[in-house]
């Protein structure tokens, strides 16, 4: 910690990640889930329709740095979303990946899959039109409400706020 003329600068805190900026509304996001510990929003490079990231609100660098309680909560949220994805998008399985090299903020990829090829890095689509991403997320949001998770579906697609 460095103190300059009465101001305190915490040099141990990392700069806000792109995910923290999305959660804080500094960068747009497409939110499908929110609670006190985490949010889920669309990835901009989905492998399949409905692919989301489950991200803790607290900026934790990696999976192994998170508390056991946080990891357990993220896993439960990923399971709930995955169950809805399989129904809404008509797949037999939901895939979950924890990779984390591109952004130093823990996140779980949760996506409806038809086979292992859907989780291969080459499956990521980088030019998905905004309208297509919006439509997929609205389908997932509606499905989560139908499955009884309405209290965790944010009031609007563009915000993690519940009301």
| 152-162 tens-digit pLDDT | 999 999 999 98
C-alpha span between 120 and 123 (Å, rounded) = 5
For this structure, is 73 an active site residue?
no
Answer yes or no: is pLDDT of 141 > 80: yes
**Mean pLDDT within 61-88:** 97
29 token code pair: 């996001």
Q: Which residue has the tokens 């929003």?
A: 41
CB 93 within 8 A of CB 7: no
Q: What is the pLDDT of residue 148?
A: 96
Neighbours of 69 (CB within 10 A): 9
Residue 96: what are its φ and ψ, rounded to 5°?
-130, 130
Which residue among the candidates 51, 73, 107, 109 is catalytic per the annotation? 107
C-alpha span between 144 and 26 (Å, rounded) = 26
114 token code pair: 């038809």
Q: What is the pLDDT of residue 12?
A: 56
Distance from the first to the final alpha carbon of the chain = 37
pLDDT above 70 covers what percent of the chain?
92
What's this model's pTM, rounded to 2 decimal places?
0.89
C-alpha span between 124 and 7 (Å, rounded) = 44
Longest dimension (CA), the chain: 61
| Domain 16-152 in this protein, CATH class | alpha beta
């Amino acid at each position: 910690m460095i103190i300059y003329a009465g101001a305190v600068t915490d040099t141990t805190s990392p700069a806000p990640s792109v995910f923290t900026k999305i959660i804080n509304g500094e960068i747009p996001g497409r939110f499908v889930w929110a609670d006190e510990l985490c949010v889920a929003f669309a990835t901009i490079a989905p492998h399949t329709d409905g692919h989301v990231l489950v991200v803790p609100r607290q900026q934790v660098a990696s999976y192994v740095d998170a508390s056991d309680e946080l990891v357990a909560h993220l896993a439960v949220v990923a399971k709930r979303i995955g169950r809805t994805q399989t129904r809404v998008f008509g797949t037999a399985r939901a895939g979950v990946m924890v990779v984390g090299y591109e952004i130093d903020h823990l996140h779980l990829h949760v996506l409806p899959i038809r086979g292992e090829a859907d989780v291969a890095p080459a499956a990521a689509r980088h030019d998905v039109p905004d309208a297509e991403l919006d439509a997929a997320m609205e389908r997932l949001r509606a499905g989560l409400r139908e499955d009884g998770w309405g209290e965790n579906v944010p009031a609007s697609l563009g915000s993690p706020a519940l009301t």
